Structure 1
Amino acid sequence: MTDIKATSSTSATTAPTAGRPARRLGQISLVACLGGLLFGYDTGVANGAEGHMAQELGLNVLQLGVVISSLVFAAAFGALFAGRISDEIGRRKAIITLSVLFFLGSILVVFSPAGELGQFYGPGFATLVTGRIMLGLAVGGASTVVPVYLAELAPLEIRGSLTGRNELAIVTGQLLAFVINALIAVTLHGVIDGIWRIMFAVCALPAVALFLGMLRMPESPRWLVNQGRYDDARRVMETVRTPERAKAEMDEIIAVHSENNAALPGVKQSSGQASGQVSSKHTHMSIGEVLSNKWLVRLLIAGIGVAVAQQLTGINAIMYYGTRVLEESGMSAEMAVVANIAFGAVAVIGGLIALRNMDRLDRRTTFIIGLSLTTTFHLLIAAAGTLLPEGNSIRPFAIMILVVGFVLSMQTFLNVAVWVWLAEIFPVRMKGIGTGISVFCGWGINGVLALFFPALVSGVGITFSFLIFAVVGVIALAFVTKFVPETRGRSLEELDHAAFTGQIFKKA
């Protein structure tokens, strides 16, 4: 059997990718990350728009929760099915399809009729929620497919930073949403009606850019190999690698593909197929095949655990309801909308730091540092909520500073690393179902928080809410330490091979 580790460390497969290939990789990441930008804007735009929307449309708290959380719950299903769809039709075509969903969803939201929106079964409310569901399907799909697409195109030595650009695009989109919301609220509130519609309309523009851009982008070479399209894969690889490196990587990818085919039960070659080439119906694993291998089951549990732990830090509760948290701390509504920009700004700063460190620090080390810091800030926020009574002029600013510290820690050490790790950890045959199920579980928890977080803060207050997050953070630290394997410094082919044999856990 091929020594994958030795192969992946040869000079040919680690030679720097410079010149035209490097520029081409930059173009690909820029276009694909528009999916992350849309992800960020669509999840962040409600933070600041929800108050204007509820006031104009007469939505009660439950209806508002349905509108906001419908995107998040739909994202769970988008993540689950988009991964499998991308296994069938390709990463590129899947992203093009998602761009259409982003555009159509934003159009439905913007043009939701105002009549009878206060009723659950009115046409306006149904249109609004349908648009949010379409956006959610697109957001969840982008969260699964875009990182995998980038990871499968990236060279080993910059895979972390290249894949992590998508998370930077996400928080940049959230920051843009916060800034645009604040500008519109300050300049147009009271001047024109329906300013929340303008806030939501902005996301149609990058959706068009993503659609047009992806028409000119290549397919993932590893997906092409998995389809048996070796010549097409070689042509793509030659555009993003130097010639010597392209040949060495393709030889390695095909060798691992052949070995894994031989290891899977029921996979047979026909007489007309090249070595390692299988029919399209065998290009991805079923859930039954995953469950038949104890190491793949353990890997799936690790993926689910990391995705869920990321959401249970409460980061998206802040990104969705940051203005509400600030108002609960004692800040005025107008000041809270503007101050909320700080959360988006430090998220981008943290993302830039994370990209710098992504190919320098192990993923597990990054997770442990991040969870330690976020849990510490949870405790500090809870302490500030207790020690500084309501009405104290310092209280809202102290809590804002601590929440800023939490967001910065989260973005610097967890968010980027989690999405990169999820894009790396599963074998190519399992990527669709493994990444899909993991992100589905993460989005499911995200949806529960989006639905109930406002009621939680209003009911038990800031102190107890963040104490809950702190307890979960301790549990997540224990889980990461025991169950999460390392991926940095290992080629996707080495990880692919090691996953089936359990060797992937030896370095955990």
Structure 2
Amino acid sequence: MTDVKDDATAGTESSPAALTDDPPPPVRRRLRVVTLIATFGGLLFGYDTGVINGALPYMKDDLGLSPFTEGLVTSSLLFGAALGALFGGRLSDRRGRRKNILMLALIFFFGALGCTLAPNTEVMVVARFVLGLAVGGASVTVPVYLAEISPAEKRGGLVTRNELMIVTGQLAAFTFNAVIAGFGGESGGIWRWMLVIATLPAVVLWFGMLVMPESPRWLASQTRYAEALAVLKQVRSERRAEAELREVTGLAVADERSKAGGWADLRTVPWIRRLVFVGVGIAICQQVTGVNTIMYYGTQILTDAGFTSDSALTANIANGVISVLATLLGIWLLGRMDRRPMLMIGQLGTTGALLMIGVFSVALPEGTPRAYAVLAMTVTFLAFQQGAISPVTWLMLAEIFPMRMRGFGMGVCAVVLWMVNFAIGLTFPVLVDGIGISATFFVFAVLGIGAVTFVKLHVPETRGRSLESLQTELQARYTRPSDPAPAG
């Protein structure tokens, strides 16, 4: 595939939405507040997926978990997230991004409460599934909301603030796990205190979103142009808001005429089908690194490497710290590097780190040297994953789809992402039990090589375009001469 970046960038620079006049301070503050409140959905995503890392060893004793039920408790959230991503994307396209986030805040609250009070494995699995519905819905809706409300030149930084909040949530989970374990010792039920903390940011998200605006692009897609302009004026200068609305409105009218969006387009519109294939591939590449084996089972990996249980909980905080620092670096790099090279570098780095974890697990004797060598490689792995792969993945999935099917298209990709995540979370303990930790990480290294190949061959560049000009470019890129003419 040829790179059409130069032509697209030139077109973007002359378009109305490319105006970059500096908005007044109240407008800049409003955009920061909107970003902060919305990304509490990412904070909940991170905490609820990361807390199981430290809670699981204590839960295992209290609930009598086997390796299979241990994987089931972990992965039931991921299965729920797959469904939440699919239906969350559709609902956000139909009902609006803001209303969807409000509903997700309630599901986060009651799901976390259900996990905290679960009396047995069966109830825990159901509660984790419900919590997963919110995690999956947030993984789709929040990045799309941020992408649609952000100025083109700031979109990379603002959308990846959500990724920063995800890893901050995971760091908070790891830290609270270690602190609660330190105070609670071996007392029964301390994992319940680890889980209940997640109800607090859910309350903040719900009350915060009550006073946040709807996505202006979603409002335009519903022909509510006056409301869209009012929202744009909250987060842009007046001159730029009016120019941007003209561009958004033109594309909304074209989408309405072609009825872009939904399952029918996957069957009847070839360029959208090809674009969804690329999005699904990006989603799979993010997961086959095995990142969530570190996020969910990091404490056990470090224990197997030679740390004591308490030391592993404390050492695991290093994984959370490096994730936050790497994401901050990734946000900085996204303003200076193209998306595609970052994705390539991240895949190469994670594959090398996984290979070394497998080598150290075989070559070094059990004890302190092996423990610290494995910790060093998990930290290196997370630096590449959270600094490059994860922020670029969620950003590109929020960018590449047409306006009227942005939630749906991202939802389809997120379903695949979460199902791969589910499969890895369910089978990882079984694989480790069956073939050993080193062989398991060698498997992930091989999958990483496949991911590098896919990115090189199929992933387009998306930096430096407005969402509208990017849609035009990608339609041209993935349309072939033999395709049928569009309807209307």
Calculate the TM-score normalised by the size of structure 2: 0.93
Given candidates 153, 168, 171, the residue that maps to 1:172 is 168
Q: What is the rounded CA distance, in whole Å, between the counterparts of 2:453 and 2:78 in structure 1?
A: 27
| Counterpart in the other structure of 2:358 | 382
The 3-state SS of whatever aligns with 1:394 is helix
| Counterpart in the other structure of 1:99 | 105
Alignment of 1:245-284 (within 5 A): 245-262=240-257, 264=258
Q: What is the rounded CA distance, in whole Å, between the counterparts of 2:9 and 2:327 in structure 1?
A: 32
Alignment of 1:75-474 (within 5 A): 75-113=81-119, 117=120, 125-190=121-186, 192-262=187-257, 264=258, 285-389=261-365, 391-474=366-449
Shift of 1:375: 1.0
4+ aligned runs moved over 6 Å, structure 1: none
Q: Deviations over 1:203-240 (max 9, x none)?
A: 00000000000000000000000001001100000000
One-letter code aligned to 1:314: G
Q: What is the rounded CA distance, in whole Å, between the counterparts of 1:74 and 1:261 in structure 2?
A: 32
Shift of 1:412: 0.8
| Counterpart in the other structure of 1:498 | 473
The 3-state SS of whatever aligns with 2:188 is coil
Q: What is the rounded CA distance, in whole Å, between the counterparts of 2:166 and 2:220 in structure 1?
A: 29
The 3-state SS of whatever aligns with 2:402 is coil
One-letter code aligned to 2:189: G
The 3-state SS of whatever aligns with 2:19 is helix
| Counterpart in the other structure of 2:46 | 40
Contact persistence 2:265–2:273 (CA under 8 A): no
5+ unaligned residues in a row in structure 2: which ranges?
1-7, 481-488
Q: What is the rounded CA distance, in whole Å, between the counterparts of 1:6 and 1:454 in structure 2?
A: 51
| Counterpart in the other structure of 1:9 | 14
Contact persistence 1:39–1:173 (CA under 8 A): yes
Shift of 1:329: 1.4
Contact persistence 2:79–2:419 (CA under 8 A): yes
Contact persistence 1:14–1:156 (CA under 8 A): no
Shift of 1:127: 2.5
The 3-state SS of whatever aligns with 2:310 is helix
One-letter code aligned to 2:253: S
When structure 1 is superposed on structure 2, of 168-177 and 322-331 the one drifting more is 322-331
Aligned residues: 472
The 3-state SS of whatever aligns with 2:431 is helix
Q: What is the rounded CA distance, in whole Å, between the counterparts of 1:412 and 1:252 in structure 2?
A: 33
Q: Deviations over 1:230-289 (max 9, x none)?
A: 011000000000011101111111112223334x1xxxxxxxxxxxxxxxxx5x612122
Q: What is the rounded CA distance, in whole Å, between the counterparts of 1:8 and 1:223 in structure 2?
A: 24
One-letter code aligned to 1:252: E
Q: Deviations over 1:167-217 (max 9, x none)?
A: 000000000000000000011124x53111111000000000000000000
The 3-state SS of whatever aligns with 1:340 is helix
The 3-state SS of whatever aligns with 2:388 is helix
| Counterpart in the other structure of 2:456 | 481
Q: What is the rounded CA distance, in whole Å, between the counterparts of 1:206 and 1:497 in structure 2?
A: 38
Q: Deviations over 1:97-133 (max 9, x none)?
A: 00000001011111223xxx3xxxxxxx332222111
| Counterpart in the other structure of 1:122 | none
| Counterpart in the other structure of 2:483 | none
Shift of 1:162: 0.2
Contact persistence 1:324–1:454 (CA under 8 A): no
Contact persistence 1:8–1:14 (CA under 8 A): no
Q: Deviations over 1:131-154 (max 9, x none)?
A: 111110000000000000000000
Q: What is the rounded CA distance, in whole Å, between the counterparts of 2:75 and 2:118 in structure 1?
A: 17
Percent of residue pairs bearing the same amino acid type: 44
Shift of 1:463: 1.9
Contact persistence 2:88–2:140 (CA under 8 A): yes
Shift of 1:4: 9.9
Q: What is the rounded CA distance, in whole Å, between the counterparts of 2:405 and 2:117 in structure 1?
A: 40
Shift of 1:21: 1.4
Contact persistence 2:275–2:478 (CA under 8 A): no
Contact persistence 2:40–2:205 (CA under 8 A): yes
Q: Deviations over 1:400-453 (max 9, x none)?
A: 101110011111111111111110011112212210110100100100111111
One-letter code aligned to 1:311: Q
Shift of 1:45: 0.5
One-letter code aligned to 1:128: M
Contact persistence 2:12–2:465 (CA under 8 A): no
One-letter code aligned to 1:196: W
One-letter code aligned to 2:242: K
One-letter code aligned to 2:115: V
Q: 1:5 to 1:225 in 2, by over 3 A?
A: farther
Contact persistence 1:485–1:504 (CA under 8 A): no
The 3-state SS of whatever aligns with 2:212 is coil
Q: What is the rounded CA distance, in whole Å, between the counterparts of 2:122 and 2:307 in structure 1?
A: 34
Q: CA RMSD in A?
A: 1.7
Shift of 1:503: 6.2
Shift of 1:33: 0.5
When structure 1 is superposed on structure 2, of 60-69 and 142-151 the one drifting more is 60-69
